[in-house]
Amino acid sequence: MMSPWLAGLIFFSILGLLFASQLFWLWRARRFLRARRHAWQRWLLGVPLYACLFGLLGMLLLLPVRWWLALDAPVLVSLFAFFRQPAVMVPVGLWMAASMFSFLLIVLVQGCFWVYCATMESQKQATLGKLALGIRVTDLQGGRISFARATARHFAKLLALLPVGIGFFMVTFTDRKQGLHDLMAQCLVLTR
């Protein structure tokens, strides 16, 4: 059985990481809002964004206070009292750490895939699979696409997937056989 002070240390270190991430996202939101040109845009985007971020930040600040106040409180007084037990806190902390690790792993894999696709489509005009099939990605005039356009095309594929992949089925309906991601990035996929 783990001692309560060690369980508390693990829990509060995870809580500290969450608090630091909220401060980071608050800083990013501030930079994002300052980039808006008109005041109405800053207000329209800023009010809900800041409300969510400050709400989460406040919750993360109040959790240790709730922990301290509810030492022997009944469960109805503190919903958090159950999590103070080491038998519960450590698995929850490990689950949160595993979730963060799997998220970072997904971001790393997607980042590598993005760099691969954007680099190959901008330099060779095709990924290895497209090269094997004899097709290439071009701009609307038939020239090479830039790395920025290949990046836009790659991330536009995520939007094409959202409504049940309808963005990919658009190929059958458009004149130039373009999917939603091709239309957004102004690209064509041609045979060699």
- Nearest of 60, 52, 102 to residue 80 by alpha carbon: 60
Neighbours of 56 (CB within 10 A): 16
Q: Which residue has the higher pLDDT, 86 or 133?
A: 133
> How far apart, in whole angstroms, are the C-alpha atoms of residue 187 and residue 121?
11
What does the pLDDT read at residue 149? Answer: 93
Instruction: Tell me which of 98-107, 116-125, 129-138 is least confident.
Output: 98-107
| 124-131 average pLDDT score | 89
pTM, to two decimals: 0.52
191: β partners: 135
What does the pLDDT read at residue 76? Answer: 36
DSSP-derived secondary structure letter, 2: -
Give per-residue pLDDT as tens, 22-70: 677 777 777 777 777 777 777 777 777 677 667 766 766 666 666 566 5
What does the pLDDT read at residue 8? Answer: 67
Mean pLDDT taken over the chain: 77
- CA-based angle 95:99:102, to the nearest 5? 135
The upper half-sphere exposure of residue 63, i.e. CA atoms within 13 Å in the direction of its Cβ, equals: 17
Q: What residues have CB less than 8 Å from 129, skipping those under 6 apart? A: none
Q: What residues have CB less than 8 Å from 187, skipping those under 6 apart? A: 137, 138, 139, 140, 145, 149, 153, 178, 181
Strand 135-139 relative to strand 187-191, pairing: antiparallel
Give per-residue pLDDT as tens, 153-180: 999 888 888 877 888 888 888 888 888 8
What whole-number percentage of the chain has pLDDT above 90?
18
| 179-190 average pLDDT score | 90
> How far apart, in whole angstroms, are the C-alpha atoms of residue 34 and residue 84?
41
